[in-house]
Chain A
Amino acid sequence: MLTSIRKKVLAGKRISEEDALHLFESDDIFTLGALASHVARKKNGPHAFFIRNRHINPTNICINRCKFCAFSRSKGQQGAFELTIEDMINKLGEGQKAKGKGPGNGRSSRSPRLITPGFSEVHIVGGLHPDWPLEHYLEMISTIKKKFPKLHIKAFTAVEIDYFSKISGRSVEDTLRDLKKSGLGSMPGGGAEIFGEGIRNQLCPEKISGDRWLEVMETAHRVGIRTNATMLYGHVEDISDRVDHLSRLRSLQDRTKGFQAFIPLAYHPKNTEIAGGYTSGIDDLKTIAVGRIFLDNFDHIKAYWIMLGEKISQLALLFGADDIDGTIIEEKITHSAGALTGEKLVAEQLVDLIRKAGKAAVERDSFYKTIRTYR
């Protein structure tokens, strides 16, 4: 079976859903890795990417309360937090200290000083806050953009966009256009989980359906907003659910070409309502490899080190991944659920991991343009 799939892949032909199931079932991780590497090399040559980025979560207050999530809180619950826009600006300003420019740390400064933080992208996702109106998010984006005009803002999952549209009474398309006008640069791929209805109802009954997630993404791509796509695996799904998920992503990508990277997310079991353990390192590598082989219309496969650990992420570069995400600096969502990693890596560490995997390290911008190649 692997032989015929191998032939297809080497001939540059698309593999079927059935083929993908066989790949997941296969014990031969070495052939999987070699095939996925072949595809990755064709798409990205010897390069593996990272980005200097920073995560900010404006709030963990969320009306959805998905069962697999350890991050969210209800309003008023202990541990609930909400950042003001000023708080967020201050957090972003912390980056300037490392550059040693001037005495202030951004906290006391009220002047609209232009600051270049030590990162090129901010990643903003948060809970579905019961009280914040769409205007709050528009202001959040435009204020950040005003203060940090060069900073790329990647923000809001499809789940948040759908929610903004509901609370504002505006269409998803108009909501996205408003956000884009305010300075939204691109969108992350979160909230996809597993599209299949049966699994989704067990995991997150309050969350938008898989179809709706895809619809929001299709709209985003139509209005010119590029996004990522994720898949949360290793909880209650089986491999046919994974293949179905990948297949729906591939079909949408055929129509829009708007997805940049596919990011498989390994489920983390701590402090959640879904039983089960951590995914195995072998499963993590296989999922990366099958994703790379199956999603022939995706340019990039990201091994998100926060969830996989830096060791498995590095190995993933030999199993089809070409991106290990970035510096991140502060991470709350996976860490609420028992992440075994730290919260940040410095660029030098990322470069070292990439190089030792035998790849050429490239610092990228949010659209995979080269900022710097490390030789």
Chain B
Amino acid sequence: MTEKPEDNRISRHEAAALFKDADLLGLGMWADIIRKALHPEEICTFVVDRNINYTNVCINKCTFCAFWRDAEDSDAYLLDRDTIFRKIEETIALGGTQILIQGGLHPSLDIFYYIDLLRAIKERFDINIHGFSPPEVCYIADTSDLTIRETLSILKIAGLDSIPGGGAEILSDRVRDILSPRKIKSSRWLEVMEAAHGLDMRTTATMMFGSIETPDDIITHLDAIRQLQDRTGGFTAFIPWTFQPGNTELKERGERQKAKAKRAKTFKVQNAATAVEYLRVLALSRIYLDNIKNIQASWVTQGLKMAQVALRFGANDFGSTMIEENVVASTGVSYCVTKEDIISAIRAAGFIPAQRDTHYNLLRFF
């Protein structure tokens, strides 16, 4: 990539045409060429980490989510310190370098809970804390009457290292109003990320597709990410993954509508995205996001075989080994995968497996 990215950049309009008309194999080949140019070593990386979901209590109650509970629900929880510490110990014992701490928007937690938790972890462990997606950051800011930047600065001083790209879903308020009306709007998600990048905190960006969005919404999303990245350069990776309908309100709504055989004009649930749709979006992401170096394959939603194929459709990273994962699992989708499985899957796909840290520094080859 000797030329400036803008020179080869495809426009929104071109992306829309590709989305609609391009042959998937041609799109894949193009994405594969770009991936090879960015990562000529044929290495596929992964991070050893664990998702720690400190609470499932959430006031947002998004329709596509099967994880949230009300505080009064019998299976609502808030993890105590010792449980969190034990999970971190186990992660380190397994060679982990990062924990992903995310949870619901719990109405009785304030910023002191987070400060104390971050400090307590950092006092005890040498581990990267990748935590609190933009909806959580905004909720902490709002309940503490702080700005986003103030909130992030405080959390950073307390020990927060980087921020996961969750909660982006589709960065189109048309879609958000239907799927997750209580969740922060697109502009706030972007604002949190921009503020984080401004404080030298690196973040990822995600996209959850395959629910009710149109191709145009997807391109709007990609474009918002690309524009912000032009300004900050703070995104380490882009992670597209597909809506998993099991146990969600969105699926129920869709089925109710099907049962009534009603032609819904404002709301239509598709069947879950299939393999060809996943690869199309993945390849298009690789082509469109010329300023983001890494694209993750989502074995958590696609399975290992598809993740292997994804490595030829634009992806160069297998994401996390996910010693623990709860959110996707609550939809009933759960691929039982160990670190060894991930290493051999990468190798079988023709790539060199390497463990990385949060910032994509290579730590160890296998």
Do A and B interact? yes
Q: Which residues of A are interface residues toward B (Cβ below 8 A)?
A: 27, 29-30, 33-34, 37, 277-285, 308-312, 314-315, 318, 340, 349, 352-353, 356-358
Which residue from A29, A310, A314, A340 sits with its C-beta under 8 Å from B312? A29
Check A33/B25 contact, CB under 8 A, given A282-B350, A356-B274. Answer: yes
Assembly CA distance A312 to B26 (angstroms): 18
Which residue from A278, A349, A357 sits with its C-beta under 8 Å from B305? A278
Assembly CA distance A15 to B130 (angstroms): 53
Check A30/B28 contact, CB under 8 A, given A282-B349, A315-B279, A318-B276. Answer: yes
A178: shortest Cβ distance to chain B, in Å? 42
A268: shortest Cβ distance to chain B, in Å? 12
A242: shortest Cβ distance to chain B, in Å? 16
- For the complex of A and B, the 7 pairs showing the least CB-CB separation, nearest first, are A281-B305, A311-B275, A280-B348, A30-B29, A281-B309, A281-B308, A356-B274
Which residue from B32, B271, B305, B345 sits with its C-beta under 8 Å from A309? B305
Assembly CA distance A47 to B306 (angstroms): 24
Q: Would you call A314 and B275 a contact (CB within 8 A)?
A: yes
Which residue from B26, B32, B305, B350 sits with its C-beta under 8 Å from A311? B305
Q: Would you call A280 and B305 a contact (CB within 8 A)?
A: yes
Assembly CA distance A282 to B345 (angstroms): 10
Q: Would you call A281 and B274 a contact (CB within 8 A)?
A: no
Which residue from B24, B32, B345 sits with its C-beta under 8 Å from A280? B345
Q: What are 21 pairs between A and B in contact, CB < 8 Å?
A: A27-B350, A30-B25, A30-B28, A33-B25, A34-B25, A278-B305, A279-B305, A280-B345, A281-B306, A282-B309, A282-B349, A309-B305, A311-B274, A311-B306, A312-B309, A314-B275, A314-B276, A318-B276, A340-B303, A340-B335, A357-B276
Q: Would you call A30 and B308 a contact (CB within 8 A)?
A: no
Assembly CA distance A309 to B275 (angstroms): 10
Inter-chain contacts of A278 with B (CB < 8 A): 304-305, 345
A327: shortest Cβ distance to chain B, in Å? 17
Inter-chain contacts of B279 with A (CB < 8 A): 315
Which residue from A33, A312, A358 sits with its C-beta under 8 Å from B275? A312
Closest to A277 in B: B344
Check A352/B271 contact, CB under 8 A, given A314-B276, A315-B276, A315-B279. Answer: yes
Inter-chain contacts of B51 with A (CB < 8 A): none
**B302 is an interface residue with CB less than 8 A from chain A:** yes
Assembly CA distance A27 to B349 (angstroms): 10
Assembly CA distance A281 to B307 (angstroms): 8
Interface hub of B25, B271, B303, B305 (most chain A Cβ within 10 A): B305
Interface hub of B25, B271, B275, B341 (most chain A Cβ within 10 A): B275
Which residue from A310, A315, A340 sits with its C-beta under 8 Å from B309? A315
Main secondary structure on chain A at its contact with chain B? helix
**B191 is an interface residue with CB less than 8 A from chain A:** no
Which residue from A311, A318, A357 sits with its C-beta under 8 Å from B302? A311
Assembly CA distance A309 to B303 (angstroms): 9
Assembly CA distance A340 to B274 (angstroms): 16
Main secondary structure on chain B at its contact with chain A? helix
**B216 is an interface residue with CB less than 8 A from chain A:** no
Assembly CA distance A281 to B278 (angstroms): 15
Assembly CA distance A357 to B344 (angstroms): 29
Interface hub of A283, A284, A311 (most chain B Cβ within 10 A): A311
Q: Would you call B274 and A352 a contact (CB within 8 A)?
A: yes
Assembly CA distance A89 to B308 (angstroms): 42
Assembly CA distance A212 to B335 (angstroms): 40
Assembly CA distance A280 to B277 (angstroms): 20
Which residue from A279, A285, A340 sits with its C-beta under 8 Å from B348? A279
Closest to A281 in B: B305
Closest to B29 in A: A30
Inter-chain contacts of B307 with A (CB < 8 A): 281
Closest to B307 in A: A281
Closest to A357 in B: B276
Inter-chain contacts of A314 with B (CB < 8 A): 274-276
Inter-chain contacts of B345 with A (CB < 8 A): 277-278, 280
Closest to A316 in B: B275
Q: Would you call B348 and A283 a contact (CB within 8 A)?
A: yes
Q: In chain B, residues 56-85, which have Cβ atoms closer than 8 Å to a Cβ of chain A?
A: none
Inter-chain contacts of A33 with B (CB < 8 A): 25
Q: In chain B, residues 65-111, which have Cβ atoms closer than 8 Å to a Cβ of chain A?
A: none
B35: shortest Cβ distance to chain A, in Å? 13
Inter-chain contacts of B278 with A (CB < 8 A): 311
Inter-chain contacts of A312 with B (CB < 8 A): 275, 305-306, 309
Closest to B348 in A: A280
Inter-chain contacts of A34 with B (CB < 8 A): 25
Inter-chain contacts of A280 with B (CB < 8 A): 305, 308, 345, 348-350
Return the CB mask of B286-318 against A: 1 if under 8 Å, else 0.
Answer: 000000000000000011111111011000000
Assembly CA distance A27 to B344 (angstroms): 18
Return the CB mask of B329-355 against A: 1 if under 8 Å, else 0.
Answer: 000000100000100110011100000
Assembly CA distance A353 to B271 (angstroms): 10
Q: Would you call B303 and A318 a contact (CB within 8 A)?
A: no
A342: shortest Cβ distance to chain B, in Å? 11
